Structure 1
Amino acid sequence: MGLLYGLGLRIMNFMVFFLIVIMLPGLPPRTTFPFKEYIVTPPKELKGALEPNFHLEGAERLLEGRVYGPECLIARNNEIYTGIHGGEVIKLTTNHVTHVTKIGQPCEDIYEESRCGRPLGLAFDTQGNNLIIADAYYGLWQVDLDTHMKTLLVSPAQELAGKAINRPAKIFNGVTVSKQGDIYWTDSSSDFTIEDLVFVSFTNPSGRLFKYDRSKNVSEVLLDELVFANGVVISPNEDFLVVAETGALRLTKYHLKGPKAGQSEVFVDGLPGLPDNLTPDAEGIWVPLVLSTDSEHPNGFTLFTRFPSVRLFLARMLALFELPFRYLNSVYPNKFSQRFVHFVGHMESISVLAPKRITVVRVDWNGNIVGSLHGFDKTTASVSHVLEFQDFLFLGSPVNQYVARVKSPKSKQPTLKVRNVRVEGDGLEASIGAPPPRATTTPKPKAATTTTTPKPSTTPKPTTTTTQKPTTTTTTTTKPPTTKPTTTKPPTTKPPTTKPPTTTTTTTTTPKPATTTTKRTVPEKPAPVEEPIPSDTKPPKQEKLKVINKQGVNVEL
């Protein structure tokens, strides 16, 4: 009885404390929308197109220890562009890495991220040699790659329209550009910056999808209350957009044209992880899962979506836990407090609960999951972007201190049924050649079966090896028997009743009798036809890389 009484007393005390925390007004954090219930589809089972494999294991680590957090990767003219922690955008060419631009201010370490800047989304402009950058803290920028002049398009202090209320964007994330120059971009949260990412997982959805009008310098909201809006891509016909809702484990489709213009619907849901940046091509979309999840390993975004009071309690408790460290840093700035707040806010504290699985999903433009790539070793800790370039998959990550690279899956491999994947960006050539055409296989003809029999000018004797040779090239789809002059035996049947074995042959001129012995050799299988790789996408030579850091120091890789 005493044990039950003590247990009941503790439960009652906790309930009183719980009610005080969730009902006391004025406690942090403050959110745009009140806490309410919302539903997230559970992750799909790993079977069928999601069946596990080991394609992502054993990845090469490029620039290890020299880059931190290459979040997004895009390529053009044999150069790869990426943004890293510290606010810099760099490009990797055939033999070195160079600085492109920096949006934020000078800083010392990643725990000063709000000062450094954090480039999350990159896209090549279609209206000039510009790079469009979505910096999480500093807004949407345009950088001229010829003059390196920077232009601010959307400021983080600017009030932006919403479906419910107007408020500034807090996390500038994904970006894509249409052929006409329209810029579509996402704001992941209207409540917290990426420095307080953990709070976004507890609060109600406040992400948005925007269209930026260059002529009016205005951003029009297309979708609101998205569950952490992230990567965004435009379809090949530019009739709809696909945006990743990271916290909802889904992709959402927004119609730009047609009878459904202005409407949205679920494109893919129940992904076995949190989708991040999206990479489009003519056949579909690469969907990297930055954090895996399954029925046994739920994540913070989906764990308490049906229990708003629990989410409010956890968010307030976490804010109260951080409060003394934030106050101490405001009075006496120190690295310890800054590192602690950064560790908690960036969800590094809860990422250890995720399953040790790295997954990239392949989705076609009809919203079907058609393939997936997996890895279970520690060569790649997290994947936020996939770039197919020069027969490789380059894998971006917000936490890795390197750029991972694995071989691109080939058409003969059953793990991924896609071909001719293109490099992201405007005016790019195919990163790998077109797949070999399927050879038309025809069963070998039997001796008693004849499809066509050319009439020779003279009837050859059955005991001779002399054959007729047409003056033009013949197209053969089957493997004829090889005739050897020293081993050929006459047929056992009478010549008038025996038909020589033939193949389906097309000739354009009358055959000309020949007296020479001809030996025809046909390969067992048709030789594969490979499309030549364009000059601007040839694999770079295996040379040492050099990193040119902000101070101008060259570092050989």
Structure 2
Amino acid sequence: MISIFVVLYFPSTIFCFPRLQKLTLPVPGPEAFAFDIQGRGPYTGVSDGRVLKYEGPRTGFADYAYTSPNRSKAICDGTHDITLAPICGRPLGLGFYYRTGELYIADAFLGLFVVGRNGGRATQLATSAGRVPFRFLDGLEVDQLTGTVYFTDASAIYGLSQINELISSDTTGRLLKYDSRTRKVTVLLTGLAGPAGVAISKDGTYLLVSEFVSQRIQKYWLKGPSANKAEVLLNLKGNPDNIKRTVRGDFWVAVTVSTPSPAVLGHRITGSGAILKTIKFSPRFNSTSVSEVQEVKGALYLGSLSLGVNYVGLSKA
């Protein structure tokens, strides 16, 4: 059941993005980030199917994990070819469960995975839910209180290589839950238009889910009198992608605006739908899209699925 609770609020002031540092990658497409319990990282998935870990300015990014059991370094390393993704893998959403040190990975082509604290080849956990195969896993969030993994399947019809078709009309996306204790996947919401990002509140009472196609954010209640119900929290003038909670308990949403003036933005929002701050990242973040804005220790990390972005953007919040 979806109820309607819409907040339309846009601040009059849009802050310009300050100085940009670029953490250079060997291949492009850093769609999402994760940081381990020691704060090391970012870890990010890239276009050739690897999950890379940032080891500092001297070393840069190094191999950490991969999802595909058939992956060949000779074929895959350095590739930008999306047709090789079923062989090489394409990790998107990432999230650590700090209690175990495990990293959960949403692979757009191969399903839900987990890898141990030492990295390497990840273990496949699920490829379908409710007898419907995953087509385009995207966002991922781990509840640190329970170990439950929440993730999105952007479409039941179209994959990442068919993203133009998805954007035009698809409403078959789903919000999903993986119970690490029972190892079962449950469908929480259906009929979503390009669900991309998902984030859990600090107290674990609700999720925020972005719908890229519908240009809105929904609030799904996990606990309380509205448990298992969703409401439209916020309509946006642009396409929202990943959502990441800050240590304060509010959230950064990555938003790509196509018209009337193309721009890539970050909105910092509350769980009640108020926009606290908006930062314009373009043109310094040289991309036509932004997939993630994540705040860590006072710095903002910027990602993009675009093959033109072979770095992680970094600046002060």
Aligned residue type for 1:110 = H
- Report the equivalent of 2:196: 230
Aligned counterparts, 1:23-62, within 5 A: 48-49=10-11, 51-55=13-17, 58-62=19-23
Write the letter of the residue equivalent to 2:16: F
**Which of 172, 197, 201 pairs up with 2:137?**
172
Question: What's the CA shift string for 1:240-288, capped at 9, x where partnerless?
Answer: 111111111111111111111111101111x121111111023310001
> Alpha-carbon deviation of 1:293?
3.4
Shift of 1:100: 0.5
Alignment correspondent of 1:367:
273
Report the Cα offset of residue 370 of structure 1.
1.2
Deviation per CA, 1:443-502, whole angstroms, max 9, x where unpaired?
xxxxxxxxxxxxxxxxxxxxxxxxxxxxxxxxxxxxxxxxxxxxxxxxxxxxxxxxxxxx
Where in structure 2 are there 5+ consecutive unaligned residues? 1-6
Q: Give matches, 1:257-406, under 5 Å.
A: 257-269=223-235, 271-281=236-246, 282-289=248-255, 291-294=256-259, 296=260, 355-381=261-287, 382-399=289-306, 400-406=309-315
Larger radius of gyration: 1
Distance 1:73 1:50, change over 3 A: farther
Q: Is the 8 A contact 1:113 1:195 kept in 2?
A: no
Task: Give the conservation status (yes or no) of the 8 Å contact 2:66–2:122.
Answer: no
| Distance in 2 (alpha carbons) for counterparts of 1:196 and 1:103 | 21
Partner of 1:85: 47
Distance in 2, Cα, partners of 1:227 & 1:254: 15
- AA aligned to 2:67 is I
**CA separation in 2, counterparts of 1:122 and 1:252?**
21
SS of match in other structure, 1:122:
strand
Mapped pair 1:143 → 2:115: yes
Any conservation in 1 of the 2:33–2:42 contact (CA below 8 Å)?
yes
By how many angstroms is 1:386 displaced?
1.6
Tell me which amino acid in the other structure corresponds to 1:251: I
Q: Secondary structure at the match of 1:243?
A: strand
Shift of 1:67: 2.9
Q: Is the 8 A contact 1:230 1:246 kept in 2?
A: yes
SS at match of 1:380: coil
Relative distance call for 1:373 and 1:190 in structure 2 (3 A) is same
Equivalent-residue separation in structure 1 for 2:297 and 2:180 (angstroms):
34
In structure 1, what is the Cα distance between the partners aligned to 2:208 and 2:272?
Answer: 11
SS at match of 2:133: coil
CA 1:50–1:152: 2 relative to 1, 3 Å = farther
CA distance in 1, matches of 2:239, 2:292: 12
Shift of 1:364: 1.0
2:80 aligns to what? 110
Q: 1:209 to 1:63 in 2, by over 3 A?
A: same
What is the TM-score when the length of structure 1 is the normalising length? Answer: 0.50
Comparing both chains, which one has the higher relative contact order based on Cα–Cα distances under 8 Å and sequence gaps of 6 or more? 2
Contact 1:255 1:263 in 2 (8 A): yes
CA contact (8 A) 1:59 1:406 kept: yes
CA contact under 8 A between 1:120 and 1:172: conserved in structure 2?
yes
**In 2: Cα distance, 1:284 partner to 1:255 partner:** 16
Separation of aligned partners in 1, 2:254 and 2:187: 26
| One-letter code aligned to 2:14 | P
SS, match of residue 86 in structure 2: helix
Secondary structure of the structure 2 residue equivalent to 1:200: helix
Conserved? CA contact 1:85–1:110, under 8 Å: yes
CA distance in structure 1 between the partners assigned to 2:44 and 2:257 by the alignment = 23
SS at match of 2:232: strand
For the structure 1 residues 151 and 48, does the alpha-carbon distance in structure 2 shift closer, same or farther, using more than 3 Å as the test? closer
Whether the aligned pair in 2 keeps the contact of 1:126 and 1:180 (CA below 8 Å) is no
Where does residue 320 of structure 1 map in the other structure?
none
Kindly, what percent of the aligned residue pairs are identical?
29
